[in-house]
Chain A
Amino acid sequence: MFYMAMSFIWVFMILLSVGSSFFFGTGEQVSKAALEGAAEAVQLCLSMAGILCLWSGIMEVMRRSGLMGTLSRILRPILALLYPQFKHDNSVMEPLSANVSANLLGLGNAATPMGIQAATQMNRTCPGVATDPLCMLVVCNTASIQLIPATIAGVRAAAGAAAPFDILPAVWLASVCSVLAGISAAKLFQHIWRDSLQ
């Protein structure tokens, strides 16, 4: 089953939608939504294209000028704990540090190309399979670590909040819990799932 996890999830979601549409009588909406989803993917890719290329370009400048090396030396002690396999591998450590820095700054769009580069480098020897460090990378990126949630503060300000940023301590506390839970879950599952990685 886990050998084709994406296929399994995809088929499950589609069957579940079609099944529930019969059950709840929402067939018409679901058939419309299927086409809308595909169109939205095109829209999303187009709106993402500029940002993705821009940040990939900036990252290449950072790499060639040695800025990425400096950044990775600062973050290396922490990252070495999470990814001991790649402690001495600069081709992984550099984009990884850039990914973490961008996430902390709340620049999700910038973090993605950097994280993907780290992911591709991690998986050079094991294509097609989500290895333990790759799962860790994905889990760390699905858990938010941004220091200043500017968009949400904007929404709160628009709704007339007295101090839009006064949720920061709660956001930090919740983010830390979420990241720690993700890392612990990944570490725990490493042992359970070990047999399926050949």
Chain B
Amino acid sequence: MNLLFSMLVPLILALVALFGFLRKTDVYAAFSVGAKDGLHLLTRIFPALVGLLTAVYMLRASGLLTHLEQILAPALSFLGIPPETVALMLVRPVSGSGALGVGAELISTYGPDSIIGRTAAVMLGSTETTFYTITIYFGAAGISKTRYAIPAALCADFAGFLAAAWAVRLFSALS
């Protein structure tokens, strides 16, 4: 099973290539054209990323998130979310690797099978790096009027965090 997961990408590549070959597609020419499109895509994403990552890094370094953490803790305990996970929830929408770092730290500090460790793992597994995804999509599609995309995406994130905390409690109560 583990081998299958680690081989997922090469297996897909092999299957697609074989399928195309059997269907008499000029596989290599098609691949080259697609790869060139990928490069074109990158040039559209890059400026958006420079702007957004600069702002995100500044915000993280300003110390605001740490203070927000202390203010939010009581409200979160009330909702059933372990307050230790505040930093994770604040970082999650803006930085994937940052959230993985914060989450891994929680998991090793409190133990992978503790409620906090499990909640952190489920939060990481059931949400995405919202702002990064939005920047890439809107950057590539040339969107400046984002309308309600950001608030709706944040609703999904918050629901995911809340559901993660509750699901962990539910399943540990069941077992």
A107 on the interface (CB 8 Å rule)? yes
- A41: B residues at CB distance < 8 A: 46, 49-50, 52-54
Interface size class of A (residues with CB under 8 A): 35 or more
Contact of A33 among B61, B153, B160 (CB under 8 A): B61
- B41: A residues at CB distance < 8 A: 52, 56, 113, 116
Cα–Cα, bound, A192→B152 (Å): 12
A128 on the interface (CB 8 Å rule)? yes
Report the count of interface residues on B (CB-CB < 8 A): 96
- B112: A residues at CB distance < 8 A: 156, 159-161, 164
- A173: B residues at CB distance < 8 A: 163, 167, 170
- B32: A residues at CB distance < 8 A: 57
Scan residues 131-185 of chain A and give those whose CB is less than 8 A from a CB of chain B.
134-135, 137-139, 141-144, 146, 148-152, 155-156, 158-162, 164, 167, 169-171, 173-175, 177-182, 184-185
Q: What residues make up the interface of B, taking CB atoms closer than 8 Å to A?
A: 5, 8-9, 12-13, 16-17, 19-20, 23, 25-27, 30-39, 41-42, 45-46, 49-64, 67, 100, 103-104, 107-108, 111-113, 117-118, 121-130, 133-134, 136-138, 140-153, 155-160, 162-164, 167-168, 170-171
- 30 contacting pairs across A/B (C-beta < 8 A): A5-B147, A18-B58, A24-B67, A36-B57, A37-B56, A38-B54, A44-B53, A49-B38, A53-B34, A53-B35, A53-B36, A57-B35, A58-B13, A58-B31, A61-B20, A65-B27, A66-B23, A116-B140, A128-B142, A139-B156, A142-B128, A142-B129, A161-B113, A167-B121, A169-B167, A170-B122, A170-B171, A171-B122, A171-B167, A192-B148
